[in-house]
Amino acid sequence: METPRPASRDWGAQGVLRLGLLGAMLLLALVAWPHAGRAQSVRVDAQGLVGIAPGSDAGNASAAPTPARLSDPEVPLGRFARVLNETPGHPLTLAQARARLAAGDFEPSSVAVPNLGNRAPPLWVHLDIDHREGAARAFRIYAVEAWADRADAWLLTPGGGIAQWQVGDARSPSRYLRPGLGFGFDAVLPPGHSELFLRADSVDSAALALRLVPQADVGAFEGAAQHWLGLVHGFLLALVVTYGLLWLALREASLLRYVAYVGSYLYMHLAYSGIAALHAWRDAPRVANFAILIGMVLFSSAGLWFAREFLGLARWAPKLDRAIAWIVRIALVAMALCVAVGAKPTAVSLAFAYIMSFTVIMVVLGIAGVRQSREQSRIFLVASLASMAGAFVTTLAVMGVLPFSTLTFRAVEVGVMLEASIWALALGLRLRRVREDRTHAMQLAQHDPLTGLCNRRGFLDRAMPLHAAAMRDGTPLSVILLDIDHFKDINDRHGHDAGDCTLVAIAHELLELSRREDILCRWGGEEFLVLLPGVARGAAMDYAERLRAATEGMVVELASGAAIVVTASFGVAGAAQSSSLEAMLRDADTALYAAKLAGRNRVEGAREAALA
């Protein structure tokens, strides 16, 4: 049986209901249309800025916009804007860009800082600004980083007003430049809906960190950037000056190469932060076009130059060392040629490829050094990884993968400063080790390795100034020369080890009985010298007698169980009887010879010996 159709009046009622619902939906859509058309925009009110971005459901075109209060003026506005890549060779006018926007060709930006890649086509950025305050308000608009070649900005205000600005290295490097923040220009926003169009055209990469900062906040905002730049530049300059002075004093090759590395980064940072453009090449576009690229090549070359010396690459990887040296030469010559012929696109490709390769090469060299157990290679690797990590964090922040903030954007600078600090510490440790090695070498050169007393060289270095002072000031100075009696018999009967034990025992006894200011020396073989500053010859004779008595009572016990009874003969001379140190030593030797002739184990003075 067929199901009976509803009555016509029932169908009509349902039709009317459906039509009513459809009409309500259309009306709701019409009401919501203006808001949906500005799903990405910035709203200005008395409390500050509110960024409006598409809803979290990216696959749903009808997702409600998400407003976010922007409490910090440093937050870039890229994710609240729309972007369009211009077709290469077909530049757009403002009117054409507005038509493309109306046609829906501009796409929502998904990153806080849109980036114009190397040799990429010009990029257009559009930002809706909804000013809801009742009066006009002054702002500073920060558009693009300081190294962009060309950037054009148009502000379209209610009533048809258009303000235009033209900036960039290729035009006037210093015009509208705000160091550390890029190009920024002042504008007055009247109440109502305004639009900002920005076109960036640059051979090398340029970040469009778009910001809208009230004039009342500009001082604090730019002041913070200036303070950071001052910290970075002051830190780097301190390293350059400190280690430059150290190099002048010590002439260590690693110090010079470190200074070149840090100094080249300081130059590069001054160039790309804009400070150099303000003070060195204000109206020199040709210089500005290549200044940063030259800095990148110099920085990478100086880093590789330093790494070769720091790791001692020529000693354990000579072929690799020569290859890196040739890479550096080729890069420097190639950049010089690019500058000479004005080939900026080629220079951009060279500089960016070189600096990226440099970062990887430094880490690879550190790993190779660790595997070869090279000195301080682990410190080198940690420093290189710190620099790479900083560059990686900044890149991800600009790409929108990490939250964009002062910390993430400045991570590359923090990484390089950390790297420079670690290397400075490593160089300091290396200098300390070198100093300790030199001190140890001098100790060995001036001391007898068996007894620890001064040798001839060490004695003369200390004794000559004391003798000169005694002769100049008339102060007493005496010397005692002693010789172990029958030392050859000790060696012949008990062996040379027994002779060494005897020498050590005598040295120990001399140290026990001497003053701090006395100079003790093993003069050679079994002979010892004692220089006595401030002691006249008579007192020296008494002191020598005490030494003789102490020596006479010595018994040297050997490992074999045997015992050696030791005696010594002494010769004493004073500075008053000698015209020079050499003469005083000869007089003491003459006195010692007299003591030997007189039967040994006795003390003789120089005057008595001469009379005898």
* pTM listed for this prediction: 0.73
Q: How confident is the model at residue 222 (pLDDT cuts 50, 70, 90)?
A: very high
Mean pLDDT confidence for 52-74: 63
- Going by C-alpha positions, the residue among 61, 103, 101 that lies closest to residue 84 is 101
- Looking at residue 24, its pLDDT comes to 42
Copy the structure tokens of residue 560: 């074999």
Torsion of CA 300, 306, 307, 309, to 10 degrees: 150
- Looking at residue 36, its pLDDT comes to 36
Q: Which residues contact 21 (CB under 8 A, 6 or more apart)?
A: none
- Looking at residue 398, its pLDDT comes to 62
Q: How confident is the model at residue 31 (pLDDT cuts 50, 70, 90)?
A: very low
Higher pLDDT, 456 or 445: 456
Highest mean pLDDT among 42-46, 331-335, 445-449: 331-335
| Least reliable range by pLDDT among 29-43, 97-111, 189-203 | 29-43
Highest mean pLDDT among 54-58, 170-174, 389-393, 519-523: 519-523
Q: How confident is the model at residue 16 (pLDDT cuts 50, 70, 90)?
A: very low
- Looking at residue 61, its pLDDT comes to 43
Q: Is 289 helix (H, G, I), strand (E, B) or coil?
A: helix
Average pLDDT score over the chain: 86
Per-residue pLDDT tens for 573-590? 998 766 789 999 999 999
Q: Is the pLDDT of residue 11 over 50?
A: no
Per-residue pLDDT tens for 398-443? 666 777 777 888 898 999 999 999 999 999 888 888 788 777 777 7
- Gyration radius from the chain CA atoms: 43
Handedness of CA 367, 369, 371, 373 (dihedral sign): negative
Domains and CATH numbers, the chain: 45-55+63-221 (2.60.40.2380), 222-438 (1.20.1070), 456-611 (3.30.70.270)
DSSP per-residue codes, 116-183: E-TTPPPEEEEEEEEE-SSS-EEEEEEEE-TT-SEEEEEEEETTTEEEEEEEBTTTBTTTTEETTTEE
Please report, as a single letter, which amino acid is at residue 603.
Answer: V
Per-residue pLDDT tens for 135-161? 999 999 999 988 889 999 999 999 889
Q: Is the pLDDT of residue 134 over 90?
A: no
End-to-end CA distance of the chain: 162
Q: How confident is the model at residue 64 (pLDDT cuts 50, 70, 90)?
A: low
Per-residue pLDDT tens for 240-255? 999 999 999 888 899 9
Q: What percent of the chain has pLDDT over 70?
A: 90
Copy the structure tokens of residue 141: 């608009």
Per-residue pLDDT tens for 76-109? 898 899 999 999 889 999 999 999 999 999 999 9
- Looking at residue 400, its pLDDT comes to 60
Q: Is the pLDDT of residue 33 over 50?
A: no
Strand partners, 156: 162, 195
Q: What are phi and psi of 135, to 5 degrees?
A: -130, 160
Strand partners, 194: 129
Q: How many CB atoms lie within 10 A of CB 582?
A: 12
Per-residue pLDDT tens for 517-575? 999 999 989 999 999 999 999 999 999 999 999 998 788 888 887 888 899 999 999 98
Mean pLDDT confidence for 188-207: 92
- Looking at residue 576, its pLDDT comes to 73
- Looking at residue 577, its pLDDT comes to 64
DSSP per-residue codes, 246-258: HHHHH--HHHHHH
- Looking at residue 72, its pLDDT comes to 75
Higher pLDDT, 385 or 562: 385
Question: Is the separation of the CB atoms in 297 and 351 below 8 Å?
Answer: yes
